[in-house]
């Protein structure tokens, strides 16, 4: 059952992967709902990107999002056919499920297994930060645009500000604040550390978000594999 009632004239965003290899990127296409066709199809306006019309992929699922005053909702759809109604150029899309409340932290948490280098800034006796860092290493478990979970043998206290180098994702360190450290349940590391990320700019957060969306869309077309935690055992 939908958690949001869809109506005509609702503005929507469609997120797709464009390009291949190193040139791949996630595009956010703008559209609006023209008509609700029973519980299986929607008619939407031909999507646009940077004010240019954009053809949806014919076979790949597409993530559609709708923003309300307080929440963000998501729905998986798939291209069905192009439709003309007078001067209107529309696209008929098939619904691939129900409209769901997008719990950003949960829905866009990407399992990812890669080495990381963690830097803890060193302070003097007066609490002033020095231009030095205590360096340790670990391995990621999962990642979102607002948080990171990794495993390490170093114990971090709640509130520690740390710098995380994760080259697979970005060429600049991620900076975050430790929100929780608990005992790990695998043999390689002693602790699992949850970090709330602090972004220097909205552009940096948007880059990370689009990276995660791109990887999630890629994963939908791959056969099931081991989880990130399985690789650590």
Q: What is the structure's pLDDT at 224? A: 47
Q: What is the CATH number of the domain that holds 38?
A: 2.30.110.10
Q: What is the pLDDT of residue 103?
A: 56
**114 and 212, same structural domain?**
yes
Asked whether residue 120 falls in the same domain as residue 207, the answer is yes
**Shared-domain flag, residues 63 and 130:** no
Cβ 102 vs Cβ 73: under 8 Å: yes
Phi then psi for residue 216, to 5 deg, are: -65, -40
> 129 or 41: which carries more pLDDT confidence?
41
Reported as a single tens digit per residue, the pLDDT across 117-164 is 999 988 777 767 667 788 999 999 988 888 899 999 999 999 999 999
Q: Are residues 120 and 26 in the same domain?
A: no
**96 lies in the same domain as 153:** no
Q: pTM for the full model? A: 0.53
pLDDT confidence bin for 232, thresholds 50/70/90: very low
The confidence band for 8, taking pLDDT boundaries of 50, 70 and 90, is: very high
Tell me which of 84, 102, 120 is where a domain ends.
102
Predicted local distance difference test score (pLDDT) of residue 70: 66
Q: Which helix (H) or strand (E) holds 172?
A: none
Say what the pLDDT of residue 122 is. 84
The mean pLDDT value of the chain amounts to 82
Hunting for tokens 């963690």 — which residue is that? 118
pLDDT of residue 163: 93
> What range defines the domain where residue 116 resides?
110-219
- Domain shared by 88 and 185, yes or no: no
Indicate if 131 and 91 belong to the same structural domain: no
Query: Quick one: average pLDDT of 169-192?
Result: 86
Cα–Cα distance for residue pair 61/24, rounded to 1 Å: 17
* Total domains in the fold of the chain: 2
Return the closest-CA partner of residue 163 out of 208, 114, 207, 120: 120
Q: What is the CATH number of the domain that holds 150?
A: 2.40.10.220
* Within-domain flag for 5: no
Residues 48 and 64 in one domain: yes
β-pairing, 110-111 vs 88-95, is: unpaired
Q: Is the pLDDT of residue 225 over 50?
A: no
Nearest to 92 by CA among 49, 67, 56, 118: 56
Residue 45 has pLDDT above 70, yes or no: yes
Give dist(CA 196, CA 144) in Å, integer: 10
pLDDT band at 68 (very low <50, low <70, confident <90, very high): confident
Query: Which residue, among 13, 25, 21, has the nearest Cα to 213 in the 3D structure?
Result: 25
135/170 same-domain check:
yes
């Amino acid at each position: 059952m939908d958690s949001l009632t869809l109506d005509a004239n609702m503005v929507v965003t469609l997120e797709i992967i464009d390009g291949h290899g190193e040139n791949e990127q996630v595009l956010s296409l703008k559209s609006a709902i023209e008509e609700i066709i029973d519980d299986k199809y929607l008619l939407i306006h031909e999507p646009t990107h940077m004010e240019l019309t954009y053809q949806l992929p014919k076979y790949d699922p597409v993530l559609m999002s709708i923003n309300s005053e307080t929440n963000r909702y998501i729905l998986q759809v798939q291209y069905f056919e192009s439709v003309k109604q007078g001067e209107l150029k529309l696209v008929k899309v098939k619904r691939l499920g129900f409209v769901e409340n997008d719990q950003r932290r949960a829905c866009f948490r990407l399992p990812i297994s890669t080495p990381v280098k963690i830097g803890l800034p060193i302070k003097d006796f007066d609490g002033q930060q020095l231009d030095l860092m205590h360096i340790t290493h670990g391995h990621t478990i999962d990642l979102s645009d607002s948080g990171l979970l990794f495993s390490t043998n170093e114990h971090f206290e709640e509130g520690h500000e740390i710098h995380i180098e994760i080259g697979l994702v970005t060429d600049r360190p991620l900076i975050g604040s430790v929100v929780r450290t608990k005992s790990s349940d695998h043999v390689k590391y002693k602790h699992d550390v949850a970090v709330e990320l602090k972004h220097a700019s909205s552009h940096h957060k948007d880059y990370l978000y689009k990276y995660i969306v791109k990887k999630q869309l890629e994963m939908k077309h791959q056969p099931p594999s081991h989880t990130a935690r399985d690789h650590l055992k």
